[in-house]
Structure 1
Amino acid sequence: MNRLQLIRKSEREYHDHCYEHDELFKPGSWLHKPVKTVMELLPMLEHNKDVNVLDLGSGVGRNSIPIADYYKEKAGKVVCVDFLESAIKKLGQYSEQYNVSHKIHPVLSDISEYSIPHNEFHLIVSVSALEHVDSERTFDEVIENMILGTQIDGINCIIISTGIKETMIDTGESIEPMYEILFETNHLIEKLERVYKGWHHIKLTVRPYAIEIVREGQRVRLESDVVTWVVQNVCCREIN
């Protein structure tokens, strides 16, 4: 088993366990509530008659279900892409439970293999997912497709971990992080500033993050920066 296969196996086991044992919007896990930054963006698109949203790495609907509920009286859709069957299955159940199944469009696919239609979406969101594509080259391709898939005045919201470190709690030993891409924080920000040149900056924050997790039955301290990047496509806006 190569490094990528090992990481994907670990990722699948972690999320399958989480989705099985932690209920969406119930206290006690990171599924407790949607990301505040994502929800704060929704009023910015209310003027549109229809709102199309793409959630890359949607999981069971932590963000996409509240988004669908917010726009449930409008035309449009919330496309939810995830490579885990367990996530897509639970997403379908939760979308029924929260009465937004008419808005939710689940897609079982690796993020990098999903073809984003050009000029389709008013909002594209990716929370803790893009660091799990298989290479930096693939990351660049996904970002380019996100840009091409965003309508004029549309918004891209990326939340991603950088500077990732993992340490065995019982021994203090540093171990190789189980993440596909290990971005350094400054490198990622410079990349995003370059590829999104001309877009309007709404938000850029870098915040430290630490949590205890379990890897193969061992307690591990996971530390990283969390970069929040939110920009709006004003590049081709017509000026009267």
Structure 2
Amino acid sequence: MDRITYIREQEKAYHDACYREHGLFEPGSWLHKPVRTVMELMAEFEGREDLRVLDLGCGIGRNSIPIAEALIGRRSTVVGVDLLDSAVAQLAAYSRKFGVASIIRPVLSSIEAFEIEPGRYDYIVAVSTLEHLASLEALDAKLAEMVRGTKAGGVHCLVVGTGIGEKDADTGEALEPLFEINLATTELLALFDKHYAGWEMLARTVKPLVFDIDRQGRPVILASDCVTLAAKRPIG
């Protein structure tokens, strides 16, 4: 089995278990609330009636559903893209539960395979997903596609892990991080500089994070930098 296939199988097992054990917006996991920056950026679209939102790696709707709730009564669509059939099925179910099924369009696809039409979206969100593209070349190409796919005045909110390390929580043994792409923070920031030249920077932060996670019953400590970029495409 090649490295990418192995990593994606492990990530599928982790997320499937998380989705079984934790309900959306219930305390006890990272699913309990949306990302604050994602929601704060919705203020950029006040007064706009016809919005097109893209959530890449949407999972079961942690961000997609609150965004859709904020758009009730407007002529708007939230496209949620995820690689896992379990995530897409639950996104559809939660959309019905929270009364936003008419706004959300679930799509089963890898991020690499999902085609972003030029000039299509007002708001593109990618939270903890771009590090799971297959390669640096794929990430570079997808960022370019995301930029092309954004309308004038549109906004991106990206949250990416960099400098990722994993170790056994009991023994301290260093483990290979199960992420397809593991850039140094400076490398990712340089990539952002390349693709977002000329855009208005609304936020650009780097925050060290440490998590306790489970890898097939093995307690693991995951440490990384969390890089957040919020940028707005010029109108002129």
TM range, smaller chain: over 0.9
> Is 1:118 matched with 2:121?
no
Secondary structure at the counterpart of residue 160 of structure 1: strand
Query: Equivalences for 1:27-106 in 2 at 5 Å?
Result: 27-106=27-106
Structure 2 spans left out of the alignment, 5+ residues:
none
Q: Deviations over 1:34-62 (max 9, x none)?
A: 00000000011123221110000000000
CA distance in 2 between counterparts of 1:75 and 1:145 reads: 25
Alignment of 1:1-240 (within 5 A): 1-234=1-234, 237-238=235-236
Deviation by residue 1:86-123 (Cα, 9 ceiling, x = unmatched)? 00010011000000000000000000100011111110
Shift of 1:25: 0.4
What is the rounded CA distance, in whole Å, between the counterparts of 1:194 and 1:141 in structure 2? 12
CA distances 1:106-143 after superposition (whole Å, capped 9, x unpaired)? 00000010001111111000000000000000001110
Distance (Å, rounded) in 1 between the aligned partners of 2:63 and 2:76? 16
TM-score, scaled to structure 2: 0.99
State the SS of the aligned residue for 2:112.
helix
1:169-213 Cα distance to aligned partner (Å, 9 max, x none): 111110100000011001100110111100000000100111111
* CA distance in structure 1 between the aligned counterparts of 2:214 and 2:125, rounded to whole angstroms: 27
Query: What percentage of residue pairs aligned between the two structures are identical?
Result: 44
Paired residue secondary structure (1:27): coil
Quote the RMSD (CA, aligned, Å). 0.7
Question: Shift in Å at residue 216 of structure 1?
Answer: 2.3
Which deviations, in whole Å up to 9, do the C-alpha atoms of 1:191-239 show, x marking residues without a partner? 10111100000000100111111112211100000000010000xx33x
Q: Which blocks of at least 5 consecutive residues in structure 1 are unaligned?
A: none
Query: 2:193 and 2:125 mapped to 1: Cα distance?
Result: 17
Distance 2:49 2:24 in 1: 29
Q: Give the secondary-structure state (helix, strand or coil) at the position aligned to 2:162.
A: strand
Q: Distance in 2 between matches of 1:162 and 1:89?
A: 30
Q: What CA distance in whole angstroms lies between the structure 1 residues aligned with 2:88 and 2:130? A: 18
Distance 1:171 1:20 in 2: 29
**Structure 1 segments (4+ residues) deviating >3 Å:** none
Letter in 1 for 2:127: V
SS of alignment partner, residue 69 of structure 2: helix
TM-score normalised by the chain length of structure 1: 0.97
> SS of the counterpart of 1:115?
coil
